Amino acid sequence: MAICDALQSVNETIERTCQTAGRSPSEIQLIAVSKTRPSEEIRSAYDCGQIRFGENRARELESKMVELEELPLEWHFIGPLQTNKIKYMASRVDWIHSVYKKKYFKEIEKRAARENRVIQTMIQINISDEDQKQGIMPDELAPLLEYTAGLNHVRIRGLMGMASHTDDLDRIRRQFVLLRETLEQHQRMNGGSNVLDHLSMGMSHDLEIAIEEGATMVRIGSAIFGGRE
């Protein structure tokens, strides 16, 4: 089964990279990014032992969560947020990686409260400083954390970032280092709902660098499911 082989190969890369980086593979959570792929492929990945899945569109996530309701999957939303789409995921999503505006936190808090749930979230930082990438700049983080500390149905678990799409590996590394240092600098703001213990960074093409620089969640799509349109 192609998906099983691909998953095994990604897990081996994670283990090998952890070994050379002096980290434990148990510190790394693999999020299989199943966007655009049919639910059947998610089921296949689950049959090979994968439980964490990431999606980047609210309605697609919603329909997959319903279709695969009977499986004990952990669902991660990693895509661009829109206030009016949060309602489609609030009853079931476990993690939202891509929050960076107060208005999104307000809406997640409201919807999660109605569902009597706590949703784990990350704040997205624009580490590549490219206009088309979402997220806030590191110097905008402290005021947002002051606000989020008081929320009851949202828990802030760390930071998420996407590196530039480039072959310049040093540049990618510098961006991941920036994300890690930003997390470390703000851990003094732990308290209330802020529990800053995760770094969501690393995709198929920069997985190893992300692990070397401290990722605790890696978001891997094409290396597991193959290329997308």
Query: Residue 224: which region, alpha, beta or left (left: phi > 0; alpha: psi -120 to 50)?
Result: alpha
CB of 218 to ligand PLP, least distance (A): 9
Q: Toward ligand PLP, which CB reaches closer, 77 or 88?
A: 77
CB of 102 to ligand PLP, least distance (A): 21
Residues near ligand PLP (CB under 6 A): 33, 35, 56, 78-79, 162, 203-205, 219-223
User: Quick one: the chain helix, strand, coil %, rounded to 5?
Assistant: 45, 20, 35
Q: Toward ligand PLP, which CB reaches closer, 39 or 204?
A: 204
Q: Toward ligand PLP, which CB reaches closer, 151 or 217?
A: 217
CB of 146 to ligand PLP, least distance (A): 26
Q: Toward ligand PLP, which CB reaches closer, 59 or 188?
A: 59
CB of 194 to ligand PLP, least distance (A): 22
The dihedral built from the CA positions of residue 137, 33, 37 and 167, taken in this order, carries a sign that is positive
Q: Toward ligand PLP, which CB reaches closer, 5 or 146?
A: 5
Cα distances (angstroms) measured from residue 45 to each of 38, 40, 141: 11, 9, 36
CB of 149 to ligand PLP, least distance (A): 25
CA dihedral 51, 52, 56, 58 (to 10 degrees): 70
Beta bridge partners of 191: 194
Measured from each CB, the residue nearest to ligand PLP is 221
Residue count of the chain, please give it: 229
